[in-house]
A = this chain, B = another copy of it.
Amino acid sequence: MRNIRLAAAQLGPIQKDESRQAVVRRMIDLMDDAKMKGAEFIVYPELALTTFFPRWHHEERAEADIWFEREMPSAATQPLFDRAAQHGMAMSFGYAELTPEGRHFNTSIIVDKEGRIVGKYRKVHLPGHDEFDPERTHQHLEKRYFEPGDLGFPVWRILGGLVGMCICNDRRWPETYRVMGLQGVELVVLGFNTPSVNSQNSSEGLEKRMFHHKLSLQAGAYQNATWVVAVAKAGVEDGHHLMGGTCIVNPDGEIVAELEGEEDGVLVHDCDLEATRFGKETIFDFARHRRIEHYGPITAQVGVRLPPG
């Protein structure tokens, strides 16, 4: 057994006028709860400090900078770092990052038990669009406010295991998990903010969207023999509904723990990293079975190339 007692810390909605300080207080309450339950690693959602602002169109791009963090930790988030170090708990959360060079990313970090930032990931697969789209039921302007991540999909040695991150829409792309799988990943942590309505097909329905969410997590876990932990920001934010679906998937692709509801809450599970070994050493022993000579198009072309005719 190489066990990580992990806490998936779902956040309920964050309204537009809610301060970072107020959100951090909620996050600390969840952390205290996780500590009581013996967790050593707590995972919060994507864009954990603010409302899911890409639903709002700012004509002036720079106006959206109010949603971004220019430093981490900041004055507002320092109490969260302090509490984590006091508890001796590692953590991961997402935020909008504005770099000193003026670049914008949808970012998540891993902070170790001593309170040091030891891993940073920047969201690679930005969904949505970059200009106001009058045909959508609501906007999803991630391509307007962020640039695609420039750090790849690293895997870090932390907590006695191999841990990677991705964010929200990344979870639908098998390339995300595979690049980490090829580094031996044992635990993928991710946060998400997923509208319960498809902005381009409002009849799709919550049930199907939840199915796609879980299907993607489960396939990524199974096909790379890794734990996957997905943490929602959920509920109604400023009149827009985000779905829940916080859950923990084992290396067999089975959902072993799931949080009901759309409020702040903690889901704790013991993730035995040794459980990844059987899959990695048999059916998904990449070294024995992968045939990269036939995978060329995956990295050689971005879009579809139809066969001749």
A68 in the interface (beta carbon within 8 A): no
A103 in the interface (beta carbon within 8 A): no
Counting chain B CB atoms within 10 Å of each CB, which of A162, A298, A300 scores highest? A298
Beta-carbon contact of A307 and B223 below 8 Å:
no
Q: Report how far A138 CA is from B252 CA in the complex, Å.
A: 22
**Contact residue among B127, B212, B216, B302 (Cβ-Cβ distance under 8 Å from A290):** B302
Beta-carbon contact of B282 and A183 below 8 Å:
no
Beta-carbon contact of A298 and B156 below 8 Å:
no
Copies per assembly: 2
Q: Report how far A174 CA is from B298 CA in the complex, Å.
A: 11
Chain B minimum-CB-distance residue to A301: B182
Beta-carbon contact of B223 and A216 below 8 Å:
yes
A258 to chain B, nearest CB (A): 16
- The stretch among A27-35, A41-49, A84-92, A147-155 that forms the contact with chain B is A147-155
Q: Report how far A153 CA is from B296 CA in the complex, Å.
A: 11
A291 in the interface (beta carbon within 8 A): yes
A253 in the interface (beta carbon within 8 A): yes
